[in-house]
Structure 1
Amino acid sequence: VVPAGQRVGVVGPSGAGKSTLIRLIARVADPTEGCVVLDGQVIAEVQLDTLRHAVAVVPQDIHLMHRSIMENLRYGRPDATDAEVMAAAVQARCDGFIRELPDGYNTIVGERGIRLSGGQRQRVGIARAMLKDARILLLDEATSALDSESEGEIQRALIELMHGRTVVAVAHRLSTVARFDRILVMVDGRIVEDGPPDTLRAQGGVYARLWDLQAEGFETG
């Protein structure tokens, strides 16, 4: 159960089922037992088109089409004006690099966005979500494969994006969700810990051990 306006981080070791939880919330799949309650509504009872309108997803691997950056950004809201698309790009910290490209917003990004770096593709994905302006935001390992400079830019963009929204974020780096309202710790497809991050660290359980391992430089998820 995720109340409206709450920011929830989902953490755990590799294969724990974190991304599956995001898929259940987005109704890419439905649970075989139990239910998911988000913003006071049972997800399985919400019409798919209504849910799609209310939810924006920023996945780890942003899918880009072999078209212009403008067209790829507008995928977030097809009826958006050029000015609205550019405003979202500014918010997502990608207007700067776009204007440095040979044809600016009309630059063709190549198959799967091959002409853009991982950080640039991620910021395009965030701009799409900003343009959609959905009240529920799902982040699936949105910064896991980025260098520290790119991650810093994207973290600033995500802070803008998360403001005033219900957020569920799968996190590879625990530091990215350390200031969230609540953490769900998953192991073997089950939620084994649930609470504020400071409380979970003090309890000395799975979350605390994952935190200590990452502090020592080990990969955990």
Structure 2
Amino acid sequence: MRHFEFTVDRLYAKSVNQTWADVRRLQVAAILVGLLFAAAAVGLILLGHPWSIALGVLAAITALASVWVSLWVPKKVGSIEDLYAKGPLVPAIISEIHPRALTLLSLIDIAKPGKGGPSYALVTRNIPIRAGQKQAIGDKVPSIAVLSDRRTHSDADTWEMVSPMPIEWGTRDVAVRSRAVTAIDKVEWNFLQSRIAESKQIRTSRDQRVTLSEDELPEALR
């Protein structure tokens, strides 16, 4: 696993990092759901009917579960620094440009540690276009792979949730980005360039990824 060390600009990352924004949105949604069910629980219990009390208890349990989710999610994901430190450095390129978003195409080893050899996949992720951002098809976007499971105790050989998180979401320093580009083998960059035409197919597939057979990979990655 190839790691990449750099100093994360925490304030900047919080303002632009979409992975962190997704976590915050999930937290807020869980809190709002919890408040709604808590209010429903109070109203149902105050009605005083056996059926309303039973429903109120169920609503209260759901409210507590939502609060638990809002607390559990950030602990599971970790801090912004943790995300960049734990994930492997992977190549990603701009493969599509939409009116308000870009599609990144990335090459990621989705195999879990200790589960045998590597299992490479082409993975896409749509990201918003920031104001003033210049972009072109094929531009290199070195990234960190965010790897996780939907379930706490998954016995799958590959990660269930995989996405690239650009280095540039963690720092304004262009020298850091250049160093990350250099740290990734040219073979990987060239391979991604050769698969740009498949971006839409991958983007519209289940989990926005397609696992590659060994024969499809460059010899250096087999």
| TM-score range normalised by the length of the shorter chain | under 0.3
Q: Going by fraction, where is helix more abundant, 1 or 2?
A: 2
Q: Which has the higher contact order (CA 8 A, sep 6+)?
A: 1
TM-score, normalised via structure 2 length: 0.24
Q: Which has the larger radius of gyration?
A: 2
